[in-house]
Each structure stands twice: as C-alpha cells, then as structure tokens.
A and B are shown apart, each in its own frame.
Chain A
Amino acid sequence: MELLEFFILAIFVNNIILTQYLGLCPFLGTSKEKGVAFGMSGAVIVVMLIVAIVTWCLQKYLLTPYELDYLQTIFFIVVIASVVQLLELFLRKVIPPLYKSLGIFLPLITTNCAVLGVAISAQRKEYDLETTIYFAIGMGLGFALALALMSGLRERLRIAHVPRSLEGTPVALLIGGIMALSFLALKGVVL
C-alpha cells in the first residue's frame, strides 16, 4: 500500500512537468503527435531509471567518501551524456526495432532537464537506492502522463478554430497553464 501511495504522489501530486516545471522543452516540442509523444516518454523513462541508479551509486561510493560533492553537476551530466550514448549503441545492435522507435529521441534527452533534475533531487532528498528507483519510475510515468494528455489535446486542437495570433506555441502554453491549474488542485491531497 505504501508503494501505491508513493507512486500516486509522484505521478499526480508531484507531477514532474505540471507541478515542478521540469522538462518543458520536450513537453512543448514533442507533443504535436501521439506517436512521437509516446516514443519520447518511453525513452525518458528508460534513461531516467538508468541514470538515477548510476548517479546514486556514484554519489554513494565516489563523491561522498572523497568529499567531491561540489563536482556533482559535472559528474551527473557526464553520466547522462554517456548513458544516452551507450543506450543508443546498445539498442542499435541488440534491439533494432526498439531503436527505430526510440532512437531519434535519445540524443535529445541529454539536454532534458527532467533527467538531471530527478538525479539531483533524489540526492537532495537523500533517498536510499530502492526509493530512488521508485522515485525515478514515478517521475518518468508522470512525464509520460503529462505528455500523453498534452499530445491528445493538441491533436484535437488541429481541427479546432484557433485565432491566428494564438496558433502553435501560445495556445499550447495556455493549455499547459490550465492543465497545471488542475494538477495544482491535487496539491492538498493527503493519503
């Protein structure tokens, strides 16, 4: 039951995009079509999980014992860049069909602030390894949820009549605002 509670908090109440405002570039950039949005979400969940595990071990066994905490940002971003590279190579060799659907999104993830954000906030909250894994999965699912909702709305919007000055990004931002408003209502939820 505790696990369910943790996931509900991570996905809905602390949704990474709509209540913490991380990962907004892919939220607006890859939400024009559902297929693209699902591909991006899948890639983000996988990378986020691997990065969270690797950075946790790095922090525990390298940075903290040798008092190198101030190098956290540099180490973490290098980990993200290399995980993304390796995953790209691995998928291309081993699972080509998956590479075809996720491959083009992988390079974009290096500069996705949601991934680095999750790695750093897991450290700042001082989670243990198990909680870090759940945290990363929950945050990744929250990212997927927000992106799925947004892409659905934007596909619907294509046949709607939008004023010319609002077309494209401005109307997407306004929709994002209203979605964030509805997620804000969940803030008081106590399980």
Chain B
Amino acid sequence: MNLWKEFSKGLWEQLPPFRILLGLCPTLAVTTSAENGLGMGIAVIFVLTLSNTIVSLVRDFIPKKVRIACFIVIAATLVTSVELLMQAYTYTLYQQLGIFVPLIVVNCIILGRAEAFASKNPVIPSFLDGLGIGIGFACSLVVIASIREVLGKGTWFGISLFGENFEPFTIMSEGPGGFIVLGILLMAMNISSAYSIKKKQHITDPSVLVEKGQKSTPLTNVQ
C-alpha cells in the first residue's frame, strides 16, 4: 500500500510541472506538438527512473560533500545513452528536440528527486518514485502539447482535426503560447483546489479559505 503511494504521488499530489514547478524549460520549449511532448516525456521517464534507482543503490558509498556532483555524473551518463539510442532509432524526433535532449541532464526534476528522495530511501520505493514522477511529467507534457498543437495547427499527433477551413491560432505553437497555456493551466488548478477545499470543509469565512488554500497548494513558490 505504501509502495503504491510512492508511485501515485507523482501522478497527482506532486505532479510536475504543475504541483512542483520544476523542469520548465522542456515544458515550454518542446511542447509544440503532441509527438514532441511524448518523446521528451518518455526520455525523461527513462532517465529519471534509472537515475533514482542507481542513486539509491550507491547512496551509502557517496561522501556527503560530493554527492551533487555524483548525481549529475550519473544523470549525464544516462542522458548520453538516451541521446545515442534516439540517434539510432528515432532520428527525426532527435533532430526536432535538438538541444533539449542533452539538456535533460540539467532538468531540475532529476536532481531534485535524487537529492530529496532517492538518496534517502531504499531501491524499490526510489524506483517507483522515479517512475511515478516521470509518468506524471510525461502526461503533463502531452496535455500541454496537445492543447498547443490543436489550437496552433489544428492537428493532433499529426492528424488533421478540423478540415481545411480551420484558421490556425499560430501563436499557440510558437513560444509565447507555451507560457500562456501553462499560466492558464496553473490558474485552473488553483481555482479547482480552492474549490475542492471549500467543498470539503464547508468553510464560509473567505479569509480562512485563503489561508488553507495557500497551505495545500504550494503553487505560488517556485522551488
């Protein structure tokens, strides 16, 4: 039961990049089409799960002072293998993601999970934690990318949805669309969590609601 909790927290409670605001660069830069978002998501799942597992395996042998450097080298090794695999099997996707494939190594989620979870917990929970957070991140990327692709190009995974008369909302598939879509999604999540707290506790006093709402949604603080 506890293990299930480690896995499932990444899917809602700590869903990146909404609940924990980490890994914003790939979130905004590669989500121009659903396919790119999915490719990036899968690469992150792979790196995050394995890096969590490896960090957890070697956590007792790493001296405290150099642990960050060790985590980065582990992540960099995994990212290099992802890069080589993508070059071999999905070369078009590799070219579309461009510089953001090697940049997975500085994705704060990887280092954040290694430092906050994997360096303190046994192997199996760390594995599940990485898998859960990775899948949550991949799902978020696909959602953001789908919104942007449908609005910006009128297609979804390359399939045309609206026929020829659709006038694309081009700005959505350009960079600014990423900021705007993410901002609006965060706003929607703030509203929904404020609403669910209100429903749960039947609070009528608005000032109490604000206090509770901010406590349960750490959205307003980056890192």
A residues lining the B interface (CB < 8 Å)? 18-25, 28-29, 70-74, 77-78, 81, 110-113, 116-117, 120-121, 124, 164-174, 176-178, 180-181, 184
Contacts and interface: CB of A to CB of B under 8 A. Distances in A.
Contacts of B84: 70
Contact of A28 (B178, B194, B222): B222
Nearest to B206: A164
Contacts of B24: 24-25, 28
Contact of B179 (A20, A29, A77, A174): A174
How extensive is the interface on chain B, given as a class? 35 or more
B76 A77 contact: yes
29 contacts: A22-B25, A24-B24, A25-B24, A29-B223, A70-B80, A70-B84, A73-B76, A74-B73, A78-B73, A81-B68, A81-B69, A81-B72, A110-B68, A111-B108, A113-B25, A113-B103, A116-B105, A120-B99, A164-B210, A165-B194, A168-B219, A168-B220, A169-B186, A169-B219, A170-B219, A173-B183, A177-B180, A181-B171, A181-B176
Given A22-B25, A169-B21, A177 B179 contact: yes
Contacts of A24: 24-25, 28
B106 interface: yes
Contacts of B15: none
Mostly, the B contact residues are helix
A174 B183 contact: yes
B121 interface: no
B180 A168 contact: no
A21 B191 contact: no
Interface string B79-114: 110011000000000000001001101111001000
Nearest to B22: A25
Given A21-B29, A173-B182, A111 B111 contact: yes
A18 to B, nearest CB: 8
Contacts of B176: 177-178, 180-181, 184
Interface string B48-89: 000000000000000000001100110011011001100000
Closest 10 A/B residue pairs (Cβ)? A168-B220, A177-B179, A173-B183, A21-B29, A177-B180, A180-B176, A24-B24, A29-B222, A170-B186, A174-B183
Interface in B164-223: 171, 174-180, 182-184, 186-187, 190-191, 194, 210, 219-223
